[in-house]
């Protein structure tokens, strides 16, 4: 499947923390650069996310804000 | 200013393409890893984004989806 | 690819209207039930969306609001 | 009230699952076509959502992604 | 219609600027406090938004970030 | 830090309710006008939000819908 979201970053799952409803997934998208994702627990289970698994961080370009110091 | 969004990735502005209303900003967050952001033209002007400028990609954790092959 | 978004609705592309930056895609998800999607023009081109093509409407569950009369 | 969101789909509430903070609502928008919505528990209570109730799934067009196989 | 979004702020339309695809609406939610909304042009036309009209700014609680100095 | 989001409203923190994963923050943006924000608990802790603290409600213009009666 190919999705219209502009950003599809190759990642390695570093950590998976399950909550009651949501799961927090830490994705390493480059050495030392991590992105945190919160998805529903049922989605995390469907994708069988575990540490070390190859995955993608999918982010719509309109959801990326820019900041400066 | 410190924002509640979980992901605040150091970045370098690589490209700024102005549209009529929106501006597309390409941010390099690691060597060879780019994230595309679409913000309003007025925001891009306020932040004076130009190639080479240091910036941050700010992304809420609930806006990061996870995909697998 | 399998995505964490909870809603992945089978659809047929009914209409594709290109703007300067964005493209408006009308997806039929059931007979007579249509969903309108706005994606970037570059994404629409990458996916080669044309009328009659089979596709999916992908929607995060937290992006679906509920209303009553 | 009339809202600016482009998609307002007639639906029947099929299931309501309450969590500690959020409530998961399953909406049938056509025979056999369901959309899952996650809203806050307090919103679900305010709307008095129960199985069989007529409702609407409200979705902004920019929150609908498109995917292809 | 009653919507699940937590924030529904009474407002007066102060300015309506039409673009090719989107319309920028400035809403005054308290004396001197304005919120800018960008909606599709077709939605703005459907709602017949004009200066001085009473309206509401509808915002999901998960779309409100918090920042501190 | 300066963020690309169009709306940055001065606010006073009125209430902070911690859940297991998320924290609900009530922000007063004008006398009697409140906005509810839901952020992750870890973000709320990082920002050390407490009643009476000065803060900002940060909202992207595309996340503000408009409604009329």
How many CB atoms sit inside 10 A of residue B11's CB?
26
Name chain F contacts of E57, Cβ cutoff 8 Å: 64-66
Query: Does E21 lie at the interface with D, CB-CB under 8 angstroms?
Result: no
- Please, what CATH class does the domain formed by F7-59 belong to? mainly beta
Rounded to whole angstroms, how far apart are CA atoms A4 and A2?
A: 7
Mean pLDDT for the stretch of residues B3-10? 96
pLDDT in tens, A27-61: 999 999 999 999 999 999 999 999 999 999 999 99
**Test the E interface: residue of F23, F40, F64 with most E CBs within 10 Å:** F64
Nearest residue in A to D62, CA atom: A62
Q: How many CB atoms lie within 10 A of CB D46?
A: 15
**Cross-strand partners of B8:** B58
| Secondary structure element (H or E) that encloses residue E32, with its range | none
Domain segments of chain E as ranges: 7-59
Are the Cβ atoms of E1 and D5 closer than 8 angstroms?
Answer: no
ipTM for the predicted complex comes to 0.93
Q: DSSP strand E in C4-53: where?
A: 7-18, 22-30, 33-40
Token pair listed for F28: 């007063």
Q: What is the pLDDT of residues B13-60, one digit of tens each?
A: 999 998 877 899 999 999 999 999 999 999 999 999 999 999 999 999
**pLDDT tens digits for range D8-54:** 999 999 999 988 778 999 999 999 999 999 999 999 999 999 999 99
pLDDT at position E52 is: 97
Q: In the prediction, which pLDDT does E13 show?
A: 98
Q: Could you tell me if C7 lies within 8 Å of chain A, comparing CB atoms?
A: no
Report the first-to-last Cα separation within chain B, whole angstroms. Answer: 38
CA A12 → CA A22, B7, B47, distances in Å? 19, 16, 32
Contact (CB<8Å) C68/D56: yes
Q: For F18-60, what is each residue's pLDDT tens digit?
A: 887 789 999 999 999 999 999 999 999 999 999 999 999 999 9
Q: Measuring CA to CA, which residue among C30, C55, C34, C28 is closest to residue C44?
A: C55
Q: Contact, C37 vs D61, CB < 8 A?
A: yes
- How many contacts (CB atoms, under 8 Å) link C and E? 23
- Taken as a whole, chain E contains a residue count of 69
């Amino acid at each position: 499947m190919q999705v219209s979201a502009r950003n599809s970053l190759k990642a390695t799952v570093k950590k998976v923390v399950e909550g009651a409803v949501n799961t927090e997934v830490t994705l390493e998208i480059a050495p030392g650069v991590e992105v945190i994702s919160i998805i529903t627990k049922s989605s995390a289970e469907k994708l069988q996310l575990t540490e070390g698994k190859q995955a993608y961080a999918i982010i719509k370009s309109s959801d990326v804000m820019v900041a400066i110091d």
